[in-house]
A and B are shown apart, each in its own frame.
With several copies, the nearest count.
Chain A
Amino acid sequence: MDTMEMKDMESAIEGILFASGEPVAIDRICLAMELDKPTAEALLQKLGDCYAYERRGVRLVRMEDSYQLCSAPEYGERIRKAFEIRKMAKLSQPALEVLTIIAYYQPTTRAYVDQIRGVDSSYTVGLLLERHLIEECGRLQVPGRPRLYRTTQNFLRSFHLNSLEELPEMPGLEADGQLRLGDDGAVLDMEEPRA
């Protein structure tokens, strides 16, 4: 594939992403463009880099195997001003806590969230569902069949994560989940929390 074709391919992918508005699965791009996945990924990478490097008004975000265009955050205020929209409210500390627990222990139940937080989280869970940051994903096969929750694509986009693997490492979480001592005898980590 020569440079011209590459450029055209990149532009066609840009067109697809623009027209979609929503996240587009890479398989769909491959199919429409008749490209293999590595080539499609390379083109998407190039497109995203170009947006960032040239400080364009749009950005390319990846959420696991899907890609989406969004407006560049540095122009957020201008854009909100143009459409007279208010900035979305920041998540409250409780909401952030529930979201963090679900993000790290997903799929998990509200009972587990309650257990860690020591307080009832039903209101906050409802709020996070409403903001499409978490979603239901089946039920746990135990008496009462409690609902399971996981984070959404919207969560990844909102927190600018390409995938869940990019979540900050949990402090003191080692591979075998065992407790470690530092040279000064200080505890470095505790037993891994049960999933």
Chain B
Amino acid sequence: MDNPIFKLEKVVQTRTGDTLGDFEGPLDLILFLLGKNKIAISDIPISLILEQYLAYLEQRQQMDLEVASEFITMAAHLMYIKTRMLLSLEDEEAQSEMDALIASLEERQRGDSYLKIKTLTERIGPMGEFGRDIVTRDPEPMERGKIYEYDQEPGDLVVALQEMLDRNHQTAVTPIHAFDEIVKHEPYPVENKAKEIIRRLKEGGITRFLLLFRGSRSRSELVATFMAVLELCKARVIRLAGGETDCTVDCDPAAPDTLS
């Protein structure tokens, strides 16, 4: 690897295409040298490259002059740039020569990328045959995006409660048993009253609103009856008609027997 032999004498034949690995021109050689020294195109150390470039040329015992002239011209060019740079650090002409060299190297490299791409298309192209021979199908009609899946930890509940407690510092919570008196010992559940009203209307037909309250034994029963009427109206089980003094109550015979 340290002293590879470059068959520059074969460059002519390369043009006809049988030894692709060889250097086709001076830029290839420079690119190779940059690569060997792990140097980016933009930071060419001209002295180093020039020395190595000349060293390779010297290794050539014999050269096809017609081809070698290209390499020798490049050597002269590199030497020219080097000289200018040695003479002055601020030499604009040398700098522009350098830029031109860099541009050519980049162009050369781009060409290489393009060559690689062309090689790759030869491999990728046939792979596309698969796509030309298959068919996919349309989805079956389907409702989408309706179910939400949650992934929570039981501890999230504890955290949520803590959050609420922190926030409601001032607010004492009424325990649910505070409702016990009302809920469990209600003598006239609205539910039952509602059933009673529906049965009465189904059996006896239309009646006067006030008649519903006849026979009520307590304030609590009156309230339950009134609540039941309101609930039944809301649920559209019964209908109220008329005015303040002659209000009647009616029920659809097909109405459900209970409120819920």
Contacts and interface: CB of A to CB of B under 8 A. Distances in A.
A and B touch in the complex (CB under 8 A): yes
Given A158-B128, A181-B173, A182-B21, A141 B113 contact: no
B163 A90 contact: no
Interface in A20-39: 20-22, 31
B190 interface: yes
Contacts of B119: 171
A70 B144 CA distance: 18
Interface string B8-32: 0000000000011111000010011
B55 interface: no
Contacts of B114: 116-118
A76 B21 contact: no
Interface in A45-65: 59, 61
A141 B183 contact: yes
A118 B139 CA distance: 43
Given A118-B171, A160-B153, A97 B21 contact: no
A184 B118 CA distance: 25
Interface residues of B, number: 92
A91 B156 CA distance: 10
> Interface residues of A toward B: which range?
35 or more
Nearest to B228: A145
Contacts of B260: 138-139
B27 to A, nearest CB: 11
A159 B154 contact: yes
A185 B144 contact: no
A185 B135 CA distance: 49
A130 to B, nearest CB: 8
A178 B171 contact: no
B160 A70 contact: no
B190 to A, nearest CB: 6
Contacts of A71: 134-136, 140
Contacts of A105: 176
A125 interface: no
B176 A159 contact: no
Contacts of B133: 73-74, 76-77, 87
A2 interface: no
B128 A159 contact: yes
Given A87-B132, A97-B121, 20 more contacts: A61-B134, A70-B134, A93-B160, A96-B157, A97-B164, A104-B157, A143-B223, A145-B231, A158-B131, A158-B132, A159-B127, A159-B128, A160-B127, A168-B124, A176-B177, A179-B36, A181-B36, A181-B172, A184-B21, A185-B7
22 contacts: A19-B139, A22-B136, A71-B136, A81-B147, A89-B149, A90-B132, A93-B160, A96-B156, A97-B160, A104-B117, A118-B114, A141-B191, A142-B179, A143-B190, A167-B157, A170-B120, A171-B120, A172-B165, A178-B177, A181-B1, A187-B23, A187-B32
Interface of B: 1, 4-7, 19-23, 28, 31-32, 34-36, 38, 41, 109-110, 112-114, 116-121, 123-125, 127-140, 142-161, 163-165, 167-177, 179, 182-183, 186, 189-191, 223, 227, 231, 259-260
